[in-house]
Structure 1
Amino acid sequence: MASDVETLIDAINEVRRRVWAEQPESFFDCATIDLDGTLVGTTGQCKEGMDIAYDGTWGYHPLVVSLAETGEVLSIVNRPGNRPSHEGAAREVNRSLVLCLEAGFRTVLLRGDTDFSQTQYLDGWNAIHKTRFLFGYDAVPTLVRKAEELPDHAWRRLTRPARYHVNTQPRRTPENVKARIVTEREYETLRLDSEDIAEFEYRPTACRQKYRMVVIRKNITKAKGEAALFDDVRYFFYITNEREWSADAIVFSANDRCHQENLHAQLKSGVRALRAPVDTLESNWAYMVMTALGWNVKAWWALSLPEPPGRWRDKYRQEKRWVLGLEFRSFVHAFVGLPCQVLRTGRKLVYRLLSWNPHLRVFFRLVETLNC
């Protein structure tokens, strides 16, 4: 029954609250809740609840709600493959909001792509104290027209930060073989020339209040070989009730939500939670929730690492972030798949590790904390 799966999710959240309660004060500055749907295909033909998705995939379309700061899965809801991404999302958002606010987070940020900008719920979320939202918004003709009518001084160039910082000498860039072949064979390509950013107030039809609409104007050149065919302009919109951040920060935060795709990859190929091994919609839902618990345990393992004050605090925090960012298989190899000899002697059990790896120091810090 669906109610049984929801009871399981609530039980997992009780443990989650206890782990969060042990975190330092800075942990509760902000909880960023990401929402997205992902397809789970199956070759089965008799699975109850399966359907065909927009791309022809037969299977299910679960909704995944996660916490960006730790990568934890807050909720999974299984749905037929033909259901839209936003179906049932508002209910799960409200569940996660209650979880995070009751846990003591000072602010909560909701993020999602254009499928989750459900305007009928925005006023309600805006009314909740300490709750902010940031959603992509469809480039409907009304918004495109408003963007085109903005004066020139409303636009400014968007400069994106470097993806990483070079600590040594920059290496020589090798020849772009792919670009050379595309040019030689005169394939048609789209080249991004620049990005401009602006913002304006906008009230969706289903809302009573106006919200901040941030728009990016991408200036694109369509080329064939070395010849430029024509210029094109495309608009991307983001709706938010966040008033303090700069427009650039709004865009960068929205782009950061793409990290949730890495979480989906881990749930599919790491813990194998996003699979459909059983024969009904609800049984596969229960499987997803139970198996995703393995990923959450990894996050709780990392969060349980102590950060005592002193000269090593920064190093301990860095190690905690490193464990949180590990792929599941790397985590298993480093901390789970350890050969161990168990001895019973002198009225006690002795666990003797039979191999060494460079991460055992982190392992033993947690063992000491848990009094194992």
Structure 2
Amino acid sequence: MTARLGTVGAGAGAAAATYVVDHALPDADLTVFEKSRGVCGRAAARRRNGLVYEYGANYLTDDDDRVNNLVTEEFDDGLVEVNGPIWTFDAAGTVAEGRDSDKRRWTYADGITRLAKHLFGATGATVERTTRIVDVHHDGGWRLTDANESTHGPFDALLLNPPAPQTAALLDETGIEAVDQLGNAAAAVDYRTVWTAVLGYDFEIDVPYYALVNADKEHAVGWIGREECKPGHVPDGETVLVVQASPDWSTERYDDPPEQNIAVLAQHAAEIVGDERLTDPDWTDHQGWRYALPEAGVRADAVRAAAQKDVYVTGDWVAGEARLHAAVRNGLGTGDAVAAALRGR
């Protein structure tokens, strides 16, 4: 009998888990439900007039052997290394040379979303896009209900990849106590909110770093990254800055008019970088991430207990580290566990 796995969310963790399960169990029936039109979750990229910019996760860090091997040996098509160090700035906006590590930073020439596209593309999984799942319940197997009131399943196992608060909303009154308890544990995971402005300029800036990070966490801006430091992203002669506001600033101004937030963040960027021209971008974009960065991981005992009932979760909030490589690493490990459980059937 063919094992059936239903996955909610097409983020990096789910993509990695799906890849593992598909290769361990080639005959398994794998279906992924994604509410948006794209994949890779908060590792997100957009395209505009021949350029690419990443407005969520900035890159994939060289910080895990299994993840490193995955991207450099199996999915290196289009892989590029981010050029330049990361420096710091303080509450006064004073820039200082950072103590940069030797770890490499990777993305793809056509955007970080290529990672999930590679992973899903190497499987036989069906990815149902623009399908928002609103309910999870157990009735002779695990079943999912979408926003159009269509029911999917039954599935032998479920894998959930949305941020913890959204996962918690799904795991409410499922009919299985251990799974409901995982929902309660997910609801307890705190998140930092991040509001991001993308600022485009028809000129180049001459600075010796790829990015600036606020070391003392006392500034309204938390991060300024230069997309032109990523090969294939920005044409010569142009600059694209990704300016991420601090969590406090982002929470306070999350629902303010976007043009107002963009103007304030552009002014801050100009002052920090030391180039008054940056106050007046030629084009802009923005994105609010209400659930951007988990403060800590979900309780491991709740994750294990739900897995005994064939419900699994994956992502940075499960890994307990708000980094893209951590989400991928967790997805690979979760995929191992799912494959072992389904094989046992």
Say yes or no: TM over 0.5. Answer: no
Instruction: Name the one with the larger helix percent.
Output: 1
Q: Normalising TM by the smaller chain, what interval?
A: under 0.3
Bigger relative contact order, structure 1 or 2 (CA pairs below 8 A, ≥6 apart): 2
State the structure with more CA Rg: 1
When normalised by structure 2's length, the TM-score is 0.24
